[in-house]
Each structure stands twice: as structure tokens, then as C-alpha cells.
A and B are shown apart, each in its own frame.
Chain A
Amino acid sequence: MTATIEAQTPPRTYPTQAHRPRRNRANVWLTLLLVLASVFTIVPFVAVLVLAVSPESAPTIPRQLPDDVTLDNLTAVLSASSFLRWTLNSVLCSVVSVVIILLTAAMAGYAFARKRFPGSTALMWSFLATLMVPIQATLIPMFVLVSRLDGVNTFWGLIVPTLANSQAVFLMRQFIRELPDELFDAAKIDGAGEWTVFWRLVLPLTKPVLATLGIFVFLWHWNDFLWPLVIAQTDEMRTLTVGLSTLNAESVARARIMASAAISVVPCLIIFGVLQRYLVNSVATTGLKG
């Protein structure tokens, strides 16, 4: 009766453990397929790395590692005078975006999934509909709007317009919808308030989705080029992607571009590596379905 919400949450199970008995044969084939798939995704990256450390005059089709591996391209990119500033801007933008979007999207997703209010379906679909308008069509109206609000060349102008993220909302809604009703009913019985239900029931239960979403939001913002380009009027406001492109003279060596690419990829890999383990802790909902 007075069981806390946490006690209601079922114990963690690891679904994969159940597969152990039949591991050997099937798993070998599956692992092999995974290796194949991984090779397919990796090879182009190896190419990027090879080109990034090639001297500028190397043929663009490297057949093997060039004899004169050079760090020149990488150092040229890293020693750009504003490199640190651009990176800080990108970090700030991406991290702030992740925090705000996770919170607001979870709230909105929860509302769409479990709350009935007038117009909720229409609203959900109109959120999704904005995804269907290509950004090239709304770029000018959006920029003019932000400019009227004095947001050009400011941090809020850089970040806030990109926070309205339909995919995040939709994703949260789809997952929260699948959470069993019993959990929420039990919480009601316990007299839990609305915010408590959200904060201590929904959020913990959706951790894997939140972690996944966190990775994506970070990446989307880190790799964004068009909006940071038009919003920044001075060098100090540029993000890394925009800043790196200022290093490209009109006919820039492919090796140089690859070096830029290799460098800007590193933080994303770090973030993915850090957040990846949260994807492992799933909360299966066994034991409650009658």
C-alpha cells in the first residue's frame, strides 16, 4: 500500500542472458555478419585518416599509407587562431541544447503520450509537420524573425531557434506510450503529484531513450552548419564547423579537408563513448503484465 514508486519499478533484467544456452552456432554467424557490417562502415573512415595525414600533393586515391606521413594538415587546422573559441562555442551550444531539449521534449512527449487534452493529436502532428518543411525554405523568414528580436550574433540566437525539435518529442512520446499503465495507476494510488510522477517515474524509466536522444541532439547541433553560419556575424561567434570552413581557400587540398573532418569528429566520438554505456541499462517491464 505504501510502497514507494521505486519499489514498484521492476528489477533490472538483462534480456540477453536468456540466450546463453544456444549461443555458439547462431552467435558465430551473427558475429560474423556484424564484423562485415562494421568493415563496411569503417573503411571510409580509414580513408579519411589516411588522407588527413597525407602531404598535400598526394594523389587523391591513396592505395596505401603514404610514405611521407605528415601531421602538417592537422597542425595547420589546430593552430588556427580562433580554433579554441570555435570549439568552445560548439561545446556550449551543443551541451546547452542537449539539456534543454531532453527536458522539454520529455515533458512534451509525456503530455502527448499520457495526457488527454483538447487538440493534442493535432498539435502532435503539427509538430511533426514542421519537420517536413525543408530548412532552405524557412531560412530567410527564420533569420528575419531572429533579427527583429535582436538575436543575430548572440548565443541565444544561435541556440534557441534550434531547440524546437520534433523528432525528440515524437521519440519520447512513442516510448512513453509503451510504458505500462499499471505503473502510473500505482503512482496515483500513492498520491504522487504530477511533477513527481514525471520526475521520478517517467524520466528514470526512459533513461535509454534519453541517453540515445542526448547523443543525437549533441551530434545534430555539433554538425550543424547552415544556421550557425548565418547567425554569426563575427569570428568570435562561429562554431567549429563554420570556423573550419573559413580555412578553406577556393581550391583547397582534399587532404586539408579530411584533416578538418577528422578533428571535428573527435568530440562527437567522445560524447558517444561516454553516453554509450547508459544505453545498456534497460528497464524491462517484466512481471507487471498480467
Chain B
Amino acid sequence: MRGQLTFVAVAALTLAACGGSDGESTDGGGSVTVWMYPVVPDQDASIEFWDQVETDFETGHDDIDLTIELLPWEGRDEKIATAIASGEGPDLVLLTPDQTLQYQSTGGLKPMGAAVEENRDAFLPNALDSVTFDDELYGVPIYHTSTTTVYNTEVLEAAGISEVPTTWDDVLAAAPKLAANGVAAMDYSGSPEMTLNLSFYPLLWQAGGTVFTDDGSDVAFDGPEGHAALQFLVDLQEVGGLPADAATKPNNVEGGPLGTGTAAMGYAVTAPEVEQMKAGVGAENVVVGEPLSGVEQVSFGMPGVLSLTSISEDEQAAMEVAAYIASPEVATALNDAAGTFPARTDVEPPTGDEMLTVFNDALQYANPGEVTPSARQVMSVLSSNIQAALQGSKSVEDALADAASEARDLIARGG
């Protein structure tokens, strides 16, 4: 029996070695591979959408063979790293501005200013700036995310608060009343895997501060604004205004405080998350508002960009593909399907739900994040210190001071 098994195994292996699709190779002109992610939430809709994009593009450019591969979010960094390191991978890949800088600084990307030459002005200036390094453009924005505040009107009314809190003072005033009903005023997620762009940094920006100095050579979060922001959180926590496990919780809405009615508001919430909240507490109890104000009114919103990898062999064709996907027609369709927002001014914002208009208006307050070479490491350091502050094991001063000194070491070392 074993003999037979061995034979089968050898046969299978021989067949297997010959078989298996080779995938789209990027050698030879006119063949472009794009790595796309589930921006369109539903998988079937996603496949359908990008298939359509492929077909439409090839109709207009019959000398270019386009393949759009849909990849999982999970393991994203490992996959891109191995691809670039080995030279086998896509021509274009969807990245965030922060990823764009990381890959560019390690030599993984090529400039692609030519893709937007004709209509550079049509794009949101912030969006282009966030992926411009050394005066070269390294990504073409194909959509923009927007976050803003969301409120649970039911629990607010139950606590006798008739107007939604729009400033820090409002939130602090509302907190005790809500806490008396067992509701946290504001949701906050301190999990280390969570990006600070959606938790601490908006508060820092609202306090009028920045993470880095203008030239990125030093950190600035340990200034008075940073203290104000962290102090705001700590004060809020003291009066029961944050979820009990704020220091460690992840930011899931569904099943989390916002989705189960135990938090009255969130301040950096995306449109799909608002939908989840509606499903959880009832659409009639959910209201979307303008971004929160501290000293300034700021929220987070960043472009998704298509970047050209250094292993791409047919740059010209790749840039045509990028320009096409970023074009108004495709962008509009993408925003419809994915619930994202336009990265260009000549694209109509999605209509339909009144909430989408609010999100679109919030774009003007959107900070796309501060992208510097050491941004990720600094975020990691700051995140764990903020956790310590929220857990009470460090004071606000110590947490920020420790984080700043570690961050300065990082920057000195070259990031």
C-alpha cells in the first residue's frame, strides 16, 4: 500500500511541478499587474468592480494586458516586502502615504509624476503632498478616506444632554452625566496595533499641536499641546468618560462600545463604521457631525494611492493604468462601491445618504497624517507610553517625556 502511495506522490509532484499557473509575469512590454485590497467591502462586489475596471481599461488600450489581483489585508507588509526583495511582484500596489514613504526610502518605489502631469490641479493638494518625497511624486491618489464624529442621540438624551458635544469642554461637561448612566462619553482605543492616526493624533492636532516639527527632524508632541491632549484623555477617564478598557481595547465598532450603546460618541469614525453603529443601536439614534474641536477643528483622512514599484518593467503602461484608475469616472464608481471619498476636486462627492455629505465636508478638516521616515517607530513608542498613562502607571508628563526621549534616540539613529 505504501508503495502505491509513494508512486502517487511522485506522480503528483511531477505533475505539480509542471502545472500551476505562472501568474502574470511582468516581463515583456504591455503587461501590468496591480495589487489591490478589499477597499470594496463585499468580496463579490469587489471582484465584480475590479473585473469591470480591467475590461474597460483593456478596451481602451488593447496593447496593454491588465491584471488586478485582490489581496488580503492580512500579511500585507510581508507580502510586499518579499515581492520587492525578490523582484517578483506587481507593477502597482495600493498603499497608504506612510507605507509609501517607507517603501520609497528603502528603494522599493519609482517616481510617477508623469501619471498626473496633465491634471495635477484636479487632485487635493494635501493628498499629493502626503506622497511627495524629495520633490517627486510616489503615488497617485485614487480615493480619500474621511473620518468625523458620530453620536448616539438616544443615550445623550437619556442623560439629559440636548445638544451634541462639539468641543472638548462639551465632552468633559457631558461625561459625568453619561457616566451616571453607565455610558462612556467618548470611545477611545489604546490597543498597540491601532494606528494613532485614529486615536491620539487627531486629539493632538485638535489641541493645535503636531507630532513632528515642520522639517521632521525632531518630535513636537511633548510640547504644551501634547500635554493638553493627553491630559484631556486622562481627565476624561477620571470622570468615567472613556470605556473602562480604553487603554488596551481595539477600535471595532460592531460589538464595541459604539455598537452596543455604551459610548455616546466617537470622533474619528469612518462611514462603514457608522453603518455598523446604525445596525447595532438603531439608525434613528445615530447622527454624524462635524469633526471635534479642541483649539482647532481637525480630523484624520488620508488618500489611498497607487504606487509604482521598483520592479516594474513597463513603467509607461503602468502609469497609464494608474492614471486611468485615478480618473474621474473610475473614482466616482469606486467611491460608490467602497464608501470612500474623492481625492480630486473634479469628482462629485457621493450622494444618497445625507451622512455622506457630512463626511465629504469633513474632508476640508482632514489631516492626512505626518509622514516622516521614523513616523512608524515614533508611533510605536508613543503608543505604548500613552497606554501606560491611561493605565495610570505613568503620569502624563512622564509618559510624554519618556516617549520623546526614546523618539529622539530613534531619529538620531537615522530612523
Which residues on A are within 8 Å of B, measured CB to CB?
A: 56-61, 80-81, 92, 96, 99-100, 103, 139-140, 143-144, 146-148, 152-159, 199, 203, 225-226, 229-230, 233-237, 242, 245-251, 253-254
Contact = CB atoms under 8 A, between A and B. Distances in A.
Interface stretch (B35-43, B58-66, B149-157, B320-328): B35-43
Given A152-B86, A233-B69, A99 B5 contact: yes
A-B pairs, top 8 by smallest CB distance, nearest first, are: A60-B255, A155-B16, A147-B86, A249-B41, A245-B72, A233-B23, A99-B9, A153-B23
Contacts, number: 140
Interface of B: 2, 5-6, 8-9, 12-13, 16-17, 19-24, 38, 41-44, 47, 69-75, 78-79, 81-83, 85-89, 252-256, 259-260, 272-273, 276, 279-280
B23 A139 contact: no
B182 to A, nearest CB: 15
Given A57-B254, A147-B88, A246 B24 contact: no
A203 B23 CA distance: 40
A96 B16 contact: yes
A248 B44 contact: no
B313 to A, nearest CB: 15
A96 B6 CA distance: 10
The majority secondary structure among interface residues of chain A is helix
A193 to B, nearest CB: 16
A103 B259 CA distance: 53
Contacts of A250: 38, 41, 73, 272
A233 B82 contact: no
Contacts of B69: 233-235
Given A99-B6, A153-B20, A248-B38, 13 more contacts: A57-B279, A99-B8, A140-B85, A144-B82, A153-B21, A155-B16, A155-B19, A225-B75, A236-B21, A245-B73, A248-B72, A250-B272, A251-B272
Contacts of A237: 20-21, 23
Contacts of B23: 152-153, 233-234, 237
Nearest to A100: B9
Contacts of B253: 251
A146 B259 CA distance: 46
Contact of A230 (B24, B44, B79, B280): B79
Given A99-B9, A100-B13, A139-B82, A155 B44 contact: no
Contacts of B279: 56-57
Chain A CB count within 10 A is highest, among B6, B8, B24, B254, for B254
Contact of A103 (B6, B19, B260): B6
Contact of B280 (A57, A199, A245): A57
A155 B260 CA distance: 46
Contact of B85 (A58, A144, A159, A254): A144
Given A80-B43, A251-B273, A154 B17 contact: yes
A203 B85 contact: no
A147 B19 CA distance: 16
Contact of B254 (A153, A158, A253): A253
B47 A81 contact: yes
Contact of A96 (B12, B70, B252): B12
A229 B73 CA distance: 11
A230 B20 CA distance: 15
Contacts of A247: 38, 43
Contacts of B21: 153, 234, 236-237
Contacts of A203: 2
Nearest to A243: B72
A159 B380 CA distance: 36
B40 to A, nearest CB: 8
A246 B72 CA distance: 4
Contacts of A155: 16-17, 19-20
A233 B83 CA distance: 9
Contacts of A199: 2
A203 B280 CA distance: 58
Contacts of A236: 21
Nearest to A234: B23
Nearest to A80: B43
B27 to A, nearest CB: 12
A56 B276 CA distance: 9
B17 A246 contact: no
B264 to A, nearest CB: 18
Contacts of A58: 255
9 contacts: A57-B259, A81-B47, A96-B9, A147-B86, A147-B87, A230-B78, A234-B69, A247-B38, A254-B252
Contacts of A157: 20
A160 to B, nearest CB: 8
A254 B72 CA distance: 16
A235 B72 CA distance: 11
B85 A143 contact: yes
Nearest to A157: B20
A242 B88 CA distance: 19
Given A56-B279, A59-B260, A246-B38, A140 B82 contact: yes
B143 to A, nearest CB: 13
B323 to A, nearest CB: 24
Chain A CB count within 10 A is highest, among B19, B70, B78, for B78
A198 B81 CA distance: 44
A59 B86 contact: no
Contacts of B41: 249-250
Chain B CB count within 10 A is highest, among A139, A153, A158, A159, for A153
Chain B CB count within 10 A is highest, among A56, A60, A61, A246, for A246
B240 to A, nearest CB: 21
Contacts of B260: 59
Nearest to B85: A140
A92 B42 CA distance: 28
